[in-house]
Amino acid sequence: MLQETSCEAPEKLCSSAPRAKARYVRKDGKCNVHHGNVRETYRYLTDIFTTLVDLKWRFNLFIFVLVYTVTWLFFGFMWWLIAYIRGDLEHIGDNQWTPCVNNLNSFVTAFLFSIETETTIGYGHRVITDKCPEGIVLLLVQSVLGSIVNAFMVGCMFVKISQPKKRAETLVFSTNAVISIRDGRLCLMFRVGDLRNSHIVEASIRSKQTKEGEFIPLNQTDMNVGYDTGDDRLFLVSPLIICHEINQHSPFWEISKEHLAHEELEIVVILEGMVEATGMTCQARSSYVASEIKWGYRFTPVLTLEDGFYEVDYNSFHDIYETNTPSCSARELAEMMARCRLPLTWSVSSRLSTQGLPDSQEKRSSEAEELAERNGDVANIESESKV
């Protein structure tokens, strides 16, 4: 995905003062977008479970401890209140009196009984009697609410622990992207690798101003990295080089090496797949700005064959080396190659036309053929000088 900043806007939207270039997605994959003036904050409470999962760990642990502590204190207060209303606290040590809860003589003992009831510890020293119907009702309510609290909080902690966000930390992208010739075509390439032995399953990678004159500050354009041919499906056992062919459908079609240095663009790379160990979907992100796209370079090989196995050298993962690459745009390169193939077409057609002709005409045809070939050599020399 290509992010391009446009500045074709009214005066109040664009100023002549230089602006600091900011990434849309940082190198670590975090989106550099801050939401401001959000007035409908109550919407976060409508999905309280997701809100708790998205909180930072320190707030999540604080809420976890707070919920259980408040629940125990509330029901401890209810047990103490029942004992106070029934007069159990006034008959402490009276063997003729049947209390609601045996051995409950203060708020501390009521709090301990609340913890034993909700956590189903059951030490046996404090126990409810059958002469207290209100206590039986409170016991049922605390058991049900305690189960709900346990399911909610334990589920929240389990989801937060099992989130595949940290799995993306071991998916690495090359520091730079490169542009060079591959199979006779200009290609934009970057490298991605997986540091873990447990692999990502079914991994796939994805990588304007309107006609009505509407101003769009961030113009997003999709870049094809093999979606039509299935090359975007990765077997990420060893580091792979992702290739985007620069053709007439590419946003880099008319960008040359000189123009690239002045472009204000950002390539956002998104790698998606399932974690083999948990089956959960994982997403890793990175980005490349214009200054991180190196024209005329290739990646250093990192895979070598050792004694019966393949070894990946991650020390060379980000290394690149320079190669002979034309500095013109892909469009200009395609036009020059088309002009270079034109004399060859004349030569072949002239050979076909000479078959069956008299000797004099064949001689004249051979002379014209040699002249055409010399013209083709001159055109090749001119194209090489331009490249």
What pLDDT does 208 receive?
46
Among 261-265, 267-271, 301-305, 371-375, which is the least confidently predicted range? 371-375
Q: Are 249 and 270 in contact (CB under 8 A)?
A: no
Residue 230 has pLDDT above 80, yes or no: no
- Residue 118 has phi, psi (to 5 degrees) of -75, -35
Fold of 41-163: Helix Hairpins (1.10.287)
Cα distances (angstroms) measured from residue 138 to each of 82, 127, 135, 152, 231: 10, 13, 5, 21, 63
- Mean of all residue pLDDT scores within the chain: 78
| Cβ partners under 8 Å of residue 173, min gap 6 | 27, 190, 191, 192, 269, 284, 286
Q: Which residue has the higher pLDDT, 38 or 52?
A: 52
- Quote the distance between the C-alpha of residue 43 and its chain's center: 25
Distance CA(36)–CA(31), nearest Å, equals 15
Q: Is 297 left (phi over 0), alpha (psi -120 to 50) or beta?
A: beta
CA dist., res. 301 & res. 132, Å (int): 79
pLDDT > 70 fraction of the chain, expressed in percent and rounded: 75
Quick one: tokens of 326? 């034309």
Give residue 229's identity as a one-letter amino acid code.
T
- Above 90 in pLDDT, residue 142? yes
Judge contact between 195 and 170, C-beta under 8 A: yes
How far is residue 164 from each of residues 26, 52, 212, 273, 330, measured CA to CA in Å?
19, 16, 42, 10, 39
Crossing angle of helices 133-161 and 57-86, in 10° steps, is 180
Domain ranges of the chain: 41-163, 168-209+218-336
Kindly report, residue by residue over 247-299, the tens digit of the pLDDT.
Answer: 888 888 989 998 888 888 888 888 888 887 777 788 888 899 888 999 999 99
Indicate the helix (H) or strand (E) that contains 225: none
On the question of pLDDT at 231 being above 80, the answer is no
Predicted pLDDT of residue 72: 95
Calpha distance 347→351 (Å, rounded): 6
Which position has the higher pLDDT, 34 or 150? Answer: 150
- Name, in order, each residue with C-beta under 8 angstroms of 350's C-beta and a sequence gap of 6 or more: 365, 368, 369, 372
* Contacts of residue 30, Cβ cutoff 8 Å, sequence gap at least 6: 285
**pLDDT score of 301:** 92
Buried-exposed string 266-284: b where 16+ CB fall within 10 A, e elsewhere: bbbbbbebbbeeeeeebeb
Predicted local distance difference test score (pLDDT) of residue 370: 52
Helical spans, DSSP H, in the chain = 43-46, 48-54, 57-86, 107-118, 133-161, 257-260, 330-353, 359-386
Q: Which of 133-147, 193-207, 292-306 has the lowest mean pLDDT?
A: 193-207
| Residue with tokens 């079609």, as numbered in its chain | 253
Lowest mean pLDDT among 44-48, 199-203, 329-333: 199-203
Q: Which residue type sits at 206? A: R
Using alpha carbons only, give the angle 249, 243, 33 rounded to the nearest 5 degrees.
80
The residue-averaged pLDDT of 180-201 equals 85
- pLDDT at position 387 over 60: no
CATH 3.40.50.2300 fits 168-209+218-336, yes or no: no
